[in-house]
C-alpha cells in the first residue's frame, strides 16, 4: 500500500513540474512579445527563436 501511494505521489509531482515548466515558458514568451511590441511597435521583425537566445537583460528589466 505504501509503495502505491509513493508511486502515485511521485507521478503527481512529476506532472505538476511539467505543468509549471510549461506555464513558465508561456509566460516568458508573452513577456518577450510584449517587450518587443512596446519597444519596436511592429511584430514583423520578431523572431521568437532568436529572441529566446539573446541575453535576457532588457526583457528582465521590462
Q: pLDDT tens digit string along 3-53?
A: 999 999 999 999 999 999 999 999 988 888 888 777 776 666 667 677 665
pTM: 0.60
The answer to whether 59 and 50 have CB atoms below 8 angstroms apart is no
pLDDT over 70 at 62, yes or no: no
Give residue 24's domain range.
Answer: 1-59
Alpha-carbon torsion 21, 27, 29, 35, what sign? negative
pLDDT at 54: 58
Residue 11, Cβ neighbours under 10 Å: how many?
10
The answer to whether 35 and 58 have CB atoms below 8 angstroms apart is yes
Domain count, the chain: 1
Going from the C-alpha of 36 to that of each of 5, 11, 13, 18, 26, the distances in angstroms are: 47, 38, 35, 27, 15
Amino acid at each position: 500500500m505504501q509503495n502505491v501511494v509513493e508511486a502515485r505521489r511521485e507521478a503527481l509531482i512529476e506532472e505538476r513540474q511539467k505543468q509549471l515548466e510549461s506555464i513558465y515558458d508561456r509566460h516568458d514568451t508573452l513577456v518577450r512579445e510584449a517587450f518587443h511590441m512596446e519597444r519596436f511597435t511592429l511584430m514583423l521583425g520578431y523572431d521568437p527563436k532568436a529572441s529566446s537566445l539573446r541575453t535576457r537583460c532588457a526583457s528582465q528589466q521590462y
